[in-house]
Structure 1
Amino acid sequence: MMIYLAGLVGFLLALTAEARVGDSSNVPFCSETEQCLLFNETCKTECFEVRHYDSAKLVSATERSWTMWMALMRSFRRLYAYISGDNEDGVRVQMVSPVIIKMENKTTFTKEYTMSFVLPAEHQANAPKPADDDVIIEELTDVTVYVKTFGGWMNGWSINRNVGSLSSCLKSAGAKFNEEYYYVTGYNSPMTTKNRHNEVWFVAVGEPKCSSKN
């Protein structure tokens, strides 16, 4: 009986883990891939949203550069090669939305940029090992984030403007968040010209501040 219960619990935990990367129809703005990184919305205010993400496996590449787009181009090439079969199993890996970019929040000549692709549900438990030593499998740990959404094309100006706006909103609300870095996420192909969906995230510290005002 105990063995049966242990097996059942393990099975349920596996289902729960996989369920956080799943059918894109569960996310209204995730329409270009079959699977999406899922989340629970805690609350929404006039200028930010609070979300909780369970742990999920990512494939990532990090670059340090004086220009964001040079770093991201190099990282993208490595990650695209990985999902195209440049891994020890030689398998193609399904693309999942969003693409996640972690950026240092400081004014220095060079910055570190980490681009990540979310691994699909079928590879969450056992991801193919990267053939490129500069590509790693890592985990987005269980996290609560403050989110601001913006449309149009993602560029340095739009990112900085929305990061600044989100930071100001959070400070006005008395919210505590990690100011050392932030995330930028994109849900669209470069070929998509209309109704683009982008986001900036700050990681919440402690109990998130929220307002019932919508």
Structure 2
Amino acid sequence: AEGVDDEEQERLLSYWQSVGRGHQVDVPRDMAEPIQQLTRNNNPQERQSIPFTLIQRKEKLGDLLYEKRQYGKAKWACIKMKEKQYEQSICLGFMKLMRYICEQNSSGLYLGITVPIVTIVHTNEALSAMTQAVTVAYYLPEVLQEEPPHPFDSDIIIEEWPTTIVYSRSFRGITNEDSIMREINLLAAILESPELCLRDTFIIAGYTN
């Protein structure tokens, strides 16, 4: 069984390293065990979704333009990144969070995956470009909200986010600086009062890994 485990680890690590190279990210060998653990526990039915209250749905000709949602106060494990490219920041940040989720925490337990994993990005005032500062964040499962396990990685900070109103618009495809800025400007165009809703901080929610 141990030999099979080793083979699976190597196969998964090799795949992740191949994907990482496409994003100009090096996936180190010490990621083999977290990758295997996350893969084995990757059951969509067991993923906990971040709870929210739907306030409003804006539609046009049957198409959903955006949703207005309220997210309650909650604790998140956050890592701040500042790589040259957005994709590098989210890949490297997520790998750090994976280690935390996969037993590298004070409880020594696998914490479970929640969806979505989010990134917080910032733009200039004109909404024409993103800054390099990116925060990658993992919502702590309900059972861990009161007393989150302490991360071994000092770069990971447990933050409590206040109750927040979010204007949400879904999109598919590649997520990079260009697609994010395009979606931000599309959202600005369809909101009735964008100057009241849009600042320089936006949340990108990823539902697949």
TM-score greater than 0.5 by the shorter chain: yes
**Matching of residue 95 in structure 1 with residue 108 in structure 2:** no
2:179 and 2:198 map into 1 onto residues whose CA distance is 21
Alignment correspondent of 2:139: 118
- Alpha-carbon offset, residue 58 of structure 1: 0.8
Identity %: 25
* Count of matched residue pairs: 157
Q: 1:166 aligns with which of 165, 187, 201?
A: 187
2:129 and 2:84 map into 1 onto residues whose CA distance is 8
Alignment correspondent of 2:162: 141
Alignment correspondent of 1:199: none
**One-letter code of the match for 1:125?**
E
**Matching of residue 177 in structure 1 with residue 197 in structure 2:** yes
- 2:104 is paired with a residue whose SS is coil
- Alpha-carbon offset, residue 68 of structure 1: 0.7
**One-letter code of the match for 1:60?**
C
Alignment correspondent of 1:76: 94
**Matching of residue 43 in structure 1 with residue 62 in structure 2:** no
Q: Point out 4+ residue stretches in structure 1 off by more than 4 angstroms.
A: 107-110
Per residue, is there more helix in 1 or in 2?
2
Q: Which structure 2 segments of 5+ residues have no match?
A: 1-43, 60-64
Cα pair distance change 1:112/1:33, threshold 3 Å: farther
In the superposition, the TM-score normalised over structure 1's length comes to 0.68
2:156 and 2:182 map into 1 onto residues whose CA distance is 30
**One-letter code of the match for 1:150?**
F
1:97 and 1:69 map into 2 onto residues whose CA distance is 19
In the superposition, the TM-score normalised over structure 2's length comes to 0.69
**Matching of residue 59 in structure 1 with residue 77 in structure 2:** yes
- Alpha-carbon offset, residue 155 of structure 1: 3.1
